Amino acid sequence: MMLRLERDSRTPLYLQIRNQLREMILDGTLSEGSRLPPERKMAAALGVNRTTVVNAYRELAADGLVEGHVGRGTTICRPPLSSSPQSPTYLPPHPLVWSEYFVPRTEGSRDPLLRDLMALLTRSDVISFAAGIPAPELYPLDDFQQAMTHVLNAAGQTFLQPCPVEGYYPLRQTIARRMARRGATVRAENILIVTGSQQGLDLIARAFLRTGDEVVVEAPTYLGALHIFGAVGASLLGMPLDEEGMRMDVLENALVRYRPKLIYTLPTFQNPSGCTMAPRRRLQLLELAHRHRVPIVEDDPYGELYYTDQDPSPLLALDQDGYVIYLSTFSKILFPGLRLGWVAAPRPVIERLSQIKQLADLHCSTLIQGAVHEFCQQGALDRHLERVRDLYRQRRDAMLAALAEVAPAGLEWDEPQGGFNLWCRLPAGIKARQLMAEAARQRVALVPGEVFYPDGGGQEEMRLNFSYPPIAQIPEGVQRLGVALTALLKKRKWVEEQHDVEFAAQPIV
Amino acid sequence: MMLRLERDSRTPLYLQIRNQLREMILDGTLSEGSRLPPERKMAAALGVNRTTVVNAYRELAADGLVEGHVGRGTTICRPPLSSSPQSPTYLPPHPLVWSEYFVPRTEGSRDPLLRDLMALLTRSDVISFAAGIPAPELYPLDDFQQAMTHVLNAAGQTFLQPCPVEGYYPLRQTIARRMARRGATVRAENILIVTGSQQGLDLIARAFLRTGDEVVVEAPTYLGALHIFGAVGASLLGMPLDEEGMRMDVLENALVRYRPKLIYTLPTFQNPSGCTMAPRRRLQLLELAHRHRVPIVEDDPYGELYYTDQDPSPLLALDQDGYVIYLSTFSKILFPGLRLGWVAAPRPVIERLSQIKQLADLHCSTLIQGAVHEFCQQGALDRHLERVRDLYRQRRDAMLAALAEVAPAGLEWDEPQGGFNLWCRLPAGIKARQLMAEAARQRVALVPGEVFYPDGGGQEEMRLNFSYPPIAQIPEGVQRLGVALTALLKKRKWVEEQHDVEFAAQPIV
């Protein structure tokens, strides 16, 4: 038996021996049933330590190519390699069990409630109060197409090339100018373009959070934030809301007790509750953040969708010392399918988030950034906002009017001053989960409140979206909802009666 | 002093006491220098445990509002809140030190070499052999604009709405069909659309890797992969390449010794080396992965950019048992600014990556996906590929010819059969870092080899890109490079001579 060992190779000797023996077994030089030389003899022949040979034989045995028997030596036990060039391996098919390879995820499995809801939304006969997106029929398609054609015509090459990770500079300037109009003085250098505020949040989570870190959120809050913070293993502190927004007494308590890493808030036309944080609260929030030295993440997708005369400033506008990391997106004010949003923050934060974004996806589509910039430059975004503010206000009013007309006793709702959502509290004892099922039978969709809570709660609350359904469908949808709710109320009454009857009928033992 | 405690509030009693006292201090009800009641007295008055009051006073002291002195009690020491409504806080400006808030990053700081290189590339007088992107002047702009106009006209609403996280289904089908033509049988369900293979790699890193995990890479390899794997704290095992690609003996050794989590390879027209893994090696790689049960990540951005008659199949095409996670992108074959690529993998992998992508950015731009799908459907991608294969071959040949003509002795290079890059070994003792500096003076840019190595090495190697510079510039660029290299060689010789002279002139002590 000829083995050639290279003593200065990077491959250890035992592997060189194993590899060469394996070749000989697989190509038939060593036939099944024949024996390998005893370890001591082989070691002497090769001039290596006996352990080296023992290890080589062990590897072969582990691969099923030889068997060792005390007293009988080491026997070849595998057939040689098939001669077909298509199957150079003698290994039996053996797919990987992928789940063993994945990093375990800390977030819970997906709620079947959301799956059921998604299934419901694909049905064309359903009136949806469950969406979270703008009305497609209001999309400013012509203006956008014009902007797209313009950038492709004028500088197509440029807009199909890479751009800096922070984003297309003129778009960053445009966004900074728009924010200044809303009272928040930021420079283009403070803007990072991201693929929607979802990515902004994900980058923030990756930059700031580790497993076990505490994060303050509103309860209820944006579902995507719950998932992102959950996925990095953060522990969530849900702050109750009242009519002025996040409760500051509870927040202060949480800051003292848990020293959270971040405070996440949607202060304006909150999703899902529609609630807007009162000016006084905003100042208190900033003061508390300042005192406890906790950064605030302000998520503001709806701020420009106001339905009164008041154009609300973001929290960022009040921030003197740079505690606020601000997020917004074109998904609600323009098109959700574009995937374009931004972060406004102090430079050190922008730099860190940019480093992470560089790894995550290099930069956002240059073409999409160019087209949106052109769209804004043409004044099309302002025209569009003016138009949709009016139309969404009408939808909100239609929903409020319909609720006032058909709502059964015990249903309560808030009147949002902007945004997409209207928050309802159900009559006592009625679960939104049940109502969702009953409403599905009536061909109307809603989102049960509980999915928006970090830690239980919201079972008797629900979110109704009024931006997505055409205005003509809103009264009919609310009507159907009323039918569903009335059916549940009747059922509840019937169950109570039965309970009373049964109770009365029970013999007193 | 009037304090009102709510015993069933969620705010602990000590915080209620603290908050009310703080209010009184800040609004001046309690003036500076005055004293708080002794703890015991206060506790009795409020009907609470003394510890509760102690804790409340401690909080106030921590906030700098009171000072406690043994024997003198607790004294108010802060001025009241300013009465200006604009500054409701008495806190002095105190910006956050953001670096204290960031999760520490495991990757090293950015190489200044790369920064210098980037600065160089912005100069218009520089001929760049340092890019990694297709030639902008070859972009199929008209066809793409037509595709974009078509999707916006035909179904603009649809393409501006959200799409499933896995991607626009017809595009997934198109990609699956294109891959089948290259010998890899995958279904649309095995395709996940991502924003470039950069995102694909990042998702894979997030799905599979934790700090300290070992990952096999080629040495040299794709720079972005080094950064991504480094950022999750993985430890990299660099496999040397020979003319047939990754060395299998070293790989086997690494698999046995380090049990890596993943094997990352660019088997076809590798970036940066231009090397292609030989067919025999591909089978060995699959066998080793199979035997050691390690998934392979195949990165294949250049496979369709071949300059011989041979259209190379991806490794995936040989994979019988689903060990390969395949990545590719439209960045090299179409436009880098689009941000569109894909992963092809077994369903469990697609599902896991989709979950992570859902958190990361919901989905890729529906509009970009629609436009690229339409572009492929019109046959424009195939036409474009046929055209650029021819043109890039000409650029490669121009670079090879120029090198043959002007290269100083000792410079060696490989002849890549496809892709964008040509790999050179410098004459002994010449560092690519020095050459980059000297070449910058000659107005030509290259990438030093060392940036592509996971663990040192490559100091005397460099990457020359031939896809980006217009063909007319290539001879001139190579000429400049030759001048720079000759200058360094002369300098080396001079230094050696000086050394000899000095050495000879030294008195023998």
pLDDT tens-digit series, residues B157-204: 999 999 999 999 999 999 999 999 999 989 999 999 999 999 999 999
Q: How many CB atoms lie within 10 A of CB B310?
A: 10
Structure tokens at B21: 């006292």
* Claim to verify: residue A333 and residue A478 sit in the same structural domain: no
Look at residue A107 in the predicted model and tell me its pLDDT.
52
For tokens 């058909």, the residue is A406
Among B472, B482, B439, smallest CA distance to B126 is for B439
Determine the Cα–Cα distance for residues A356 and B104; give it in Å rounded to an integer.
12
What CATH number did the domain enclosing B329 receive? Answer: 3.40.640.10
* Claim to verify: residue B436 and residue B355 sit in the same structural domain: no
Please answer yes or no on whether B359 and A228 come within 8 Å at the CB atom.
Answer: yes
> Could you give the count of Cα atoms lying within 13 Å of A382 in the half-sphere of its Cβ?
12
Is residue A463, in this structure, part of any structural domain at all? yes
Look at residue A499 in the predicted model and tell me its pLDDT.
74
For tokens 């283009």, the residue is A188
* Claim to verify: residue B322 and residue B217 sit in the same structural domain: yes
Residue A128 has pLDDT above 50, yes or no: yes
* Claim to verify: residue B206 and residue B64 sit in the same structural domain: no
Q: What is the mean pLDDT of residues B151-159?
A: 92
Phi then psi for residue B73, to 5 deg, are: 80, -160
Residue B110 has pLDDT above 90, yes or no: no
Measured at the alpha carbon of residue A88, what is the angle toward residues A83 and A91, in degrees to the nearest 5?
110
Which of B93, B253, B339 lies closest to A365 in CB terms?
A: B339
Is residue A396, in this structure, part of any structural domain at all? yes
Count of structural domains within chain B: 3
What CATH number did the domain enclosing A424 receive? Answer: 3.90.1150.10
B329 close to B341: Cβ distance less than 8 angstroms: yes
pLDDT tens-digit series, residues A385-423: 999 999 999 999 999 999 999 988 899 999 999 999 999
Which of A103, A348, A349 lies closest to B209 in CB terms?
A: A103
Domain ends where: A59, A76, A93? A76
Confidence band of A375 (pLDDT split at 50, 70, 90): very high
* Claim to verify: residue B238 and residue B303 sit in the same structural domain: yes
Please answer yes or no on whether A209 and B103 come within 8 Å at the CB atom.
Answer: yes
**DSSP secondary structure letter of residue A467:** S
Give the rounded distance of the alpha carbon of A208 from its chain centre. Answer: 16
Long-range contact set of residues A491-498: C-beta below 8 Å, sequence gap at least 24: A492/A429, A492/A430
Q: What is the mean pLDDT of residues A437-450?
A: 95
Q: What is the mean pLDDT of residues A46-52?
A: 88
Residue A56 has pLDDT above 80, yes or no: yes
User: In angstroms, how far apart are the furthest CA atoms of chain B?
Assistant: 98
Report which of residues B161 and A67 the model is more confident about.
B161
Q: What is the mean pLDDT of residues B432-444?
A: 94
- C-alpha distances (whole Å) from A435 to each of A37, A227, A236, A468, B210 are 77, 24, 27, 20, 43
Radius of gyration of chain B (CA): 32
Domain ends where: B323, B353, B378? B378
* Claim to verify: residue A148 and residue A126 sit in the same structural domain: no
Phi then psi for residue B217, to 5 deg, are: -130, 165
Look at residue B71 in the predicted model and tell me its pLDDT.
75
In terms of residue numbers, what domain contains A475? 112-132+383-490
Question: Which residues from chain A sit within 8 angstroms of residue B62, using beta carbons?
Answer: none
Beta strands in A145-228 (DSSP E): 191-194, 214-219
Handedness of CA A134, A136, A138, A142 (dihedral sign): positive
Q: How many CB atoms lie within 10 A of CB B501?
A: 10
Which of A98, A139, A227 lies closest to B346 in CB terms?
A: A98
* Claim to verify: residue B249 and residue B298 sit in the same structural domain: yes
* Claim to verify: residue A159 and residue A227 sit in the same structural domain: yes
Look at residue A468 in the predicted model and tell me its pLDDT.
95
* Claim to verify: residue A330 and residue A402 sit in the same structural domain: no
Is residue A105, in this structure, part of any structural domain at all? no
Determine the Cα–Cα distance for residues A403 and A36; give it in Å rounded to an integer.
87
Determine the Cα–Cα distance for residues A112 and B477; give it in Å rounded to an integer.
61
CB burial readout B151-178, b (16+ within 10 A) else e: bbeeebeebbbbbebbbbbebbebbbeb
* Ranges A62-66, A305-309, B269-273, B371-375: which has the least confidence: A62-66
Question: Which residues from chain B sit within 8 angstroms of residue A230, using beta carbons?
Answer: none
What CATH number did the domain enclosing A31 receive? Answer: 1.10.10.10
Is residue A475, in this structure, part of any structural domain at all? yes
pLDDT tens-digit series, residues A470-480: 999 999 999 99
Q: What is the mean pLDDT of residues A6-26?
A: 79
Mutate to test the interface with A, among B60, B84, B339, B363 (most CBs of A within 10 A): B339
Is residue B503, in this structure, part of any structural domain at all? no
Confidence band of B218 (pLDDT split at 50, 70, 90): very high
Structure tokens at B229: 């794997």
Look at residue B69 in the predicted model and tell me its pLDDT.
78
Domain ends where: B328, B349, B378? B378
Q: Share the mean pLDDT of chain B.
A: 89
Phi then psi for residue A480, to 5 deg, are: -60, -40
Mutate to test the interface with A, among B150, B195, B283 (most CBs of A within 10 A): B195
Residue A503 has pLDDT above 70, yes or no: no
B355 close to A105: Cβ distance less than 8 angstroms: yes
CA dihedral (B288, B293, B299, B302) in degrees, to 10, reads 30
Residue B266 has pLDDT above 70, yes or no: yes
Phi then psi for residue A299, to 5 deg, are: -100, 120
Mutate to test the interface with B, among A16, A160, A291, A467 (most CBs of B within 10 A): A160
* Claim to verify: residue B71 and residue B211 sit in the same structural domain: no
Determine the Cα–Cα distance for residues A293 and B96; give it in Å rounded to an integer.
7
The model's pTM: 0.80
Residue A444 has pLDDT above 70, yes or no: yes
* Claim to verify: residue A117 and residue A159 sit in the same structural domain: no
Is residue A51, in this structure, part of any structural domain at all? yes
Look at residue B501 in the predicted model and tell me its pLDDT.
66
* Claim to verify: residue B387 and residue B421 sit in the same structural domain: yes
B184 close to B313: Cβ distance less than 8 angstroms: yes
Which of A133, A286, A338 lies closest to B367 in CB terms?
A: A338
AA identity, residue B310: Q
Is residue B180, in this structure, part of any structural domain at all? yes
Residue A124 has pLDDT above 80, yes or no: yes
Look at residue B68 in the predicted model and tell me its pLDDT.
82
Please answer yes or no on whether B103 and A195 come within 8 Å at the CB atom.
Answer: no
Is residue A419, in this structure, part of any structural domain at all? yes
Please answer yes or no on whether B287 and A206 come within 8 Å at the CB atom.
Answer: no
Distance of residue B198 Cα from the nearest chain A Cα, in angstroms: 5
